[in-house]
A and B are shown apart, each in its own frame.
Chain A
Amino acid sequence: GAVVSQHPSRVICKSGTSVKIECRSLDFQATTMFWYRQFPKQSLMLMATSNEGSKATYEQGVEKDKFLINHASLTLSTLTVTSAHPEDSSFYICSARDQTSWDTEAFFGQGTRLTVV
């Protein structure tokens, strides 16, 4: 199946600093990528939909100034957590769908465990 690579897998940062997470589709082009957040023993919560070449669409309750999303190319989207605080500690996962058929499966990255101290 298609491969989505997410980096880094783990990051620890100090409160007040910013952290960037990368999501790459390795063998297909993704017009749309999705960013999720997952709390322990809970399901995935969609944060935003990232569209190549345009602004991301954020879900209700997600601060767009705190979670900056950039989708500069058909294979790369980035999520930057700005001025991170301990409550931002979570598991962040990206996914991408092949642009040729939007109702096929979305492939997921390995996830990034963010810990803010």
Chain B
Amino acid sequence: EDQVTQSPEALRLQEGESSSLNCSYTVSGLRGLFWYRQDPGKGPEFLFTLYSAGEEKEKERLKATLTKKESFLHITAPKPEDSATYLCAALSGNTGKLIFGQGTTLQVKP
């Protein structure tokens, strides 16, 4: 069964304290691994797509990496405005559906 698991469920950081969020996946025929940011009461906002193991993408303080079993979202020197829920989702090539993880809620304190 296709499954995506994110950890930790919640993460509290001090401003400037770097960390990583994990996304483990078991998906048949993976066609892409997506990271989204979701603010309360809003729809998910696209961050990155990774297509193959070893691929990395960066945007400001965020860097996403991908292996054959998991993806990491590294946050370097976070700021309070980075506080949000981060969702990862795997696109199944067999079904064409995005399978979402439960999300990691990040809180960055000044």
Contacts and interface: CB of A to CB of B under 8 A. Distances in A.
A103 B98 contact: no
Interface in A79-98: 91, 93, 95
Nearest to A9: B41
B100 A108 contact: no
Interface residues of B, number: 23
B100 A44 contact: yes
Interface stretch (A13-21, A64-72, A109-117): A109-117
A105 B34 contact: yes
Interface string B59-71: 0000000000000
Contacts of A1: 46
A100 interface: no
Contacts, number: 54
A74 interface: no
Contacts of B46: 1, 105-108
B52 to A, nearest CB: 12
Contacts of A44: 44, 87, 100
Contacts of B93: 103
Interface string B30-56: 011010100001111110010100000
B83 interface: no
Contacts of B101: 43
Contact of B42 (A95, A105, A106, A111): A111
Given A43-B100, A103-B31, A108-B36, A113 B43 contact: no
Given A44-B87, A105-B34, A108-B36, A34 B98 contact: yes
15 contacts: A4-B43, A34-B98, A41-B105, A43-B100, A43-B101, A46-B98, A93-B43, A95-B43, A103-B91, A104-B32, A104-B49, A105-B34, A106-B34, A108-B43, A111-B42
Interface of A: 1, 4, 6, 32, 34, 41-44, 46, 49, 91, 93, 95, 102-111, 113
Given A41-B105, A42-B102, A106-B46, 14 more contacts: A43-B87, A46-B98, A95-B44, A95-B98, A102-B96, A103-B51, A103-B93, A106-B34, A106-B98, A108-B45, A110-B42, A111-B41, A111-B42, A111-B43
